[in-house]
Structures are given as C-alpha cells and as structure tokens.
Chains A and B, each alone.
Chain A
Amino acid sequence: MAHYAMVIDTRRCIGCHSCTVACKVHNELPVDMIYNPVTTIGPIGVFPNLHMVHIPLLCMHCENTPCVDACPTKASLRREDGIVWIDETKCVSCKACVMACPYGARIPNHGKGIVQKCDFCMDRVDQGKVPRCVQSCHQKARIFGDLDDPNSEVSILTNKHHTVRLLDELGTKPSVLYIYGLGGQMR
C-alpha cells in the first residue's frame, strides 16, 4: 500500500500564493477558509545579505493522528494510503479535531455546520493525478508521491536531503516534509 507524502522545498518557494488560490478554487472554499496558507519568515539578516523563507502550510496527514483520535463521530478518518479526510455526512462540527490538531489545519465551515480540511485532493489522487497545489506550483517547490516507493521523487528527495517535520517533538509523524533553506538558494 502506498504512503502518500509531500515534500516542500522551501528553497524553491517564492511565496506567490498560487497554491493557496488553486486550492481555494478547486475545493470551492468560502472566502474566510484557507487550507494552504503560505507564511513568510524574514527578511532575515542585514543588507545586503537579506534572505526570506516562505513556508507553505497544509494538513500534515500525520501517521499518529490526534484529530482522528479526538473525533467522537468517526467522521475523521485516515485511509490506508495515509490520507486523512473528513466524512462530511458524519461531522457535527464539535471542533474536537480543530482543537486537537497541532497544525491548525482544520477549519470550521460555519455555513455548512461542519469542519473541513485539506485531503491531498484525494479525488484527484484516486485518478492518478497530483493535488491541485502541486500542479499549480510553477517553482516545483511541492513534490507529491509515494514515500514507500523507493523510486518516487519524494523518496529520493527525503534520502538525498535533510528533511524536517513541523512540531516533530509532538510525535505526530507528519507526512509533509520540508527541505528547509533560505530562499534563492536554488537559483
């Protein structure tokens, strides 16, 4: 069974937010909901040695899922391929998962009375396509694939580079890995 993961190369990301927009359009999100924010650290340093790092954030599709464990309705689920998703027919928006998620990846949709989140565009993944944010990233900063396949790009990158997981100390084992570096290093 596959283990879908995403590698985000912060050296490539220029903070254009096209992934944010593509995600919003694909998932038809209301104006106040964002699955894919891109945060910015910096500028760091002293002129002329200034750097900036952009960090795209999304659901980390953790292996140890505090959100799934907290869900009292069994609406939050983790597939065998590692994709964490919400069965909207069962969700009652108790916000237990919103509070349990360390990454702020779950957002209540007050209009629908449910909680929603990034699901790695599983409708597209099931058709053999990549998530919309990956497709829209013209800098190729987002790489999606099967971590269990040694020939996949995500496996090669994780073996080649030192990757970090956000809030790794919490033991959630995220499936989103970051190659951390200052912007502009890949010119």
Chain B
Amino acid sequence: MSHKHDSWGWMLAVDFFFAGMGGAMLFIAGIADFILGAGNTSVLGNFIGPVFIAIGACFLILELGRPFQAFRVFMNPKAILTFGAWNMTFAIVLGIIFASFGIPVLPWSGLTVLRKILAALCIVLGFVVATYPGVLLGRHKARPFWNGPGIMVLFFLSSLVTGAAAHILCGFIFGESSWLVSQGLILDASGSVVLADLPHITAIFLLFQLIFWVGYVWIKFSGASEREAKAAQRWIHGDLSTSFKLGFIFWGTIVPMVLLIFTQHVLQIVGACLAIVGGMIMRYLAVRGGEDRTWLPGELKYRSKLPHGDEEFMKVFVTQRRTDRC
C-alpha cells in the first residue's frame, strides 16, 4: 500500500523522450527537405523519427491503467492529451510516407510536389509533437515547477538537441551502409551540408539548453511564489540536484557541447550519444519535478502519518485479507 500522492511514472518520461526526439527528427528532416531539397538527411534518420514517436506512444499506452482501452484517449478534442495523441498518430503515418520518398524504387518517389507538401506537414507535426509535452505540463496550475510557458521552451530545445543528435548518429550509420546507395536502393545523403553542419548546430542548441535551464531553475528559485522556490530547491540542493547538475547539466549538456565542436567523428558520435542520454535524464527529472503539488493546509503532515505498506501490522492485514478471499 502506498499513500504517497500518485503521479505519472517513468514510462511517461520515456514517452516524452522518444516522442520529442522523433518529433524533432521529423521537424529537422522536413525543414532540410523543404528548403534544400531531398537527400539532406539520411533515409534511416527520416524513418527512425516516426518509429521513435511510435515507441513513445507504446510507452504512453503502457502507462495507462487499462492499456487495451487506449483508443479512448482520442475522444475529447478539448483535452491536450487527445490533441497530442492525434498529432502523434498523424506524425507517425505521414512521417513514414515522407521517409519512403528516400527509396527511389518506389513509384511515388519522383513526385516532388507531394514530397514538399509532406515535408511541410512534417515540419508542423514534428514541431507540435516535440513541443506538446511542455504545453501539457506547463498548464498544470498547481504544479509549481511546471506551471508557466518556460517548460514548453525547455522541452522543445531538448527535443531539438536529441533529434539532431539522433540524425547525426543515423548519418554515421548510413555512411557505413553506403552499398545501399551504390545499389540505388536509397537516396544518397553523403554530401549533405545539413548532416555536415548538424554537430555544430547541435552544440549551439546545447548552449541554449544550458542557458535556459540554469535561467529557468534560477527564476523558479527566486520567483513569484514560495511554492516555486520550494520546488526549485529540489533541483538545487534536494534529491534531484545530483542527477540534474552532474547527469544532465555536466554529462548531458556541457560535455557533448564541447565534443560536438570537434570535427573528429568519434568525438561527435560520443557527443551525440551523451546528448541523447542527457535528454532522457532531463525528461525523467522534469516528470519527477512535478510530483509536488501545492499542498493544502496540513496535508503533508497528514500524509506523513499514513502507513507506507511495509509496516508489520499492514503485512498482517494484507495477508489476512488474502486468506479471507481464498
């Protein structure tokens, strides 16, 4: 038994991570294609973007109390979760169709106008999927750490970082599979200026991420209300501080930012991997940061007195109930 206030668990953080990364991959691929034309991001990266969104959706379903009735989350157009679910669905379907244009043997791969339309749709859908978790969290009035538009920017930035890092990694994997290009099975992206510049662009995103996160926590700490200051304390001195400072800020932001500046491929690969791990840590911490509601008078004291479930009398009680049922 647990009397702690139930809140979203790690699976939602994983959903936010994969959906954000996939959404940003679509966003980047869409922009590259729309402005510069086909073959500017790897076909693998274009395919993996919607696949990541689908993986995120699977975790979202697993988070539900009744996963087999997941279709019900599409029912209320006024709810932001429904909005997000529809967007993820469209992004998965249109993202895969868009990625299929990188396979020249398919009959529709030469339809440039259709590809451009899909690229434009991928920009919009990718942006929404990458940003909506931040909007979802920012609307919670009684969650002092989340509340406000700032979290939306942080989620979009982290999505851009992880999405760009995933594109960098896909570009390297794609490079190793160059026989597919020589056979004419997939579009060549080896000479892409986007893939060449993406590590440096990602380093700039990481710099923004560093500045925005430090600013966000500082503003919350010295901000509008005592509740916000208390919530920010967890990130500065509390239980989340080590993971935040060491895991996310140092290993997940500063180190990859430095590594991605260099031109050596090995350093760029390590930097991209660290940036992705940093994104995962950030999602987990952000979800945990919202556990604390604005407590009502006397509520914390009341909850602290309730049994946790591991007390001797509780064990006896639960055993007795099981025996009675049998």
Q: For chain A, what secondary structure do more than half of its interface residues adopt (helix, strand, loop), or is it mixed? A: loop
Contacts of B82 in A (CB 8 A): 72
Contacts of A167 in B (CB 8 A): 142, 294, 296
Contacts of A37 in B (CB 8 A): 299, 302
**Bound: A106/B140 CA distance, A:** 15
A16 CB-CB contact with B under 8 Å: no
| Chain A residue nearest to B69 in the complex (CB) | A92
Q: By the criterion CB–CB under 8 Å, are A72 and B66 in contact?
A: no
Contacts of A70 in B (CB 8 A): 79-81
Please pick, from A69, A72, A98, the residue contacting B6 in the complex, using a CB distance under 8 A: A98
| Chain A residue nearest to B142 in the complex (CB) | A102
Q: By the criterion CB–CB under 8 Å, are B76 and A74 in contact?
A: yes
Q: By the criterion CB–CB under 8 Å, are A104 and B73 in contact?
A: no
Minimum C-beta distance from A128 to chain B (A): 31
B179 CB-CB contact with A under 8 Å: no
Q: By the criterion CB–CB under 8 Å, are B141 and A66 in contact?
A: yes
With A39-B299, A39-B301, A55-B297 known as contacts, the answer to whether A92 contacts B65 (CB < 8 A) is yes
**Bound: A75/B82 CA distance, A:** 13
Contacts of A171 in B (CB 8 A): 141
Q: By the criterion CB–CB under 8 Å, are B143 and A99 in contact?
A: yes
B75 CB-CB contact with A under 8 Å: yes
Q: Which residues 35-75 of B have a CB within 8 angstroms of A?
A: 63-67, 69-70, 72-75
Please pick, from B66, B76, B80, B299, the residue contacting A113 in the complex, using a CB distance under 8 A: B66
Please pick, from A95, A103, A115, the residue contacting B296 in the complex, using a CB distance under 8 A: A103
Contacts of B63 in A (CB 8 A): 94-95
Q: Select the residue from B67, B73, B85 with max chain A CB neighbours within 10 A.
A: B73
With A92-B73, A96-B79, A98-B6 known as contacts, the answer to whether A39 contacts B317 (CB < 8 A) is no
A170 CB-CB contact with B under 8 Å: yes
**Bound: A166/B66 CA distance, A:** 32
A40 CB-CB contact with B under 8 Å: yes
| Chain B residue nearest to A105 in the complex (CB) | B296
**Bound: A38/B8 CA distance, A:** 25
**Bound: A113/B67 CA distance, A:** 9
Contacts of B74 in A (CB 8 A): 72
A179 CB-CB contact with B under 8 Å: no
| Chain B residue nearest to A75 in the complex (CB) | B72
Q: By the criterion CB–CB under 8 Å, are A71 and B76 in contact?
A: yes
Please pick, from A55, A99, A113, the residue contacting B7 in the complex, using a CB distance under 8 A: A99
Q: Select the residue from A57, A69, A94, A95 with max chain B CB neighbours within 10 A.
A: A94
B237 CB-CB contact with A under 8 Å: no
Interface string of A93-131 (1 = CB under 8 A from B): 111101111111001111011110000000000000000
Contacts of B141 in A (CB 8 A): 66, 102, 170-172
Q: By the criterion CB–CB under 8 Å, are B7 and A73 in contact?
A: no
Contacts of A108 in B (CB 8 A): 6, 65
Contacts of B323 in A (CB 8 A): none
**Bound: A143/B70 CA distance, A:** 40
Contacts of A41 in B (CB 8 A): 297-298
A32 CB-CB contact with B under 8 Å: yes
B325 CB-CB contact with A under 8 Å: no
Q: By the criterion CB–CB under 8 Å, are A92 and B70 in contact?
A: yes
| Chain B residue nearest to A101 in the complex (CB) | B142
Interface string of B294-319 (1 = CB under 8 A from A): 10111101100000010000000100
B265 CB-CB contact with A under 8 Å: no
A138 CB-CB contact with B under 8 Å: no
Footprint of B on A, CB under 8 Å?
Answer: 31-32, 34, 37-41, 53, 55, 57, 66, 69-75, 90-96, 98-104, 107-110, 112-115, 166-167, 170-172
Q: Which 4 A-B pairs have the closest CB atoms?
A: A93-B65, A39-B298, A102-B142, A113-B65
| Contact sample, A vs B, 29 pairs, CB 8 Å cutoff | A32-B3, A39-B296, A40-B302, A69-B78, A70-B79, A70-B81, A71-B76, A72-B73, A72-B79, A72-B81, A74-B76, A92-B65, A93-B66, A94-B64, A95-B63, A95-B65, A96-B81, A99-B143, A102-B293, A102-B294, A104-B299, A109-B65, A113-B65, A114-B66, A166-B296, A166-B297, A170-B142, A171-B141, A172-B141
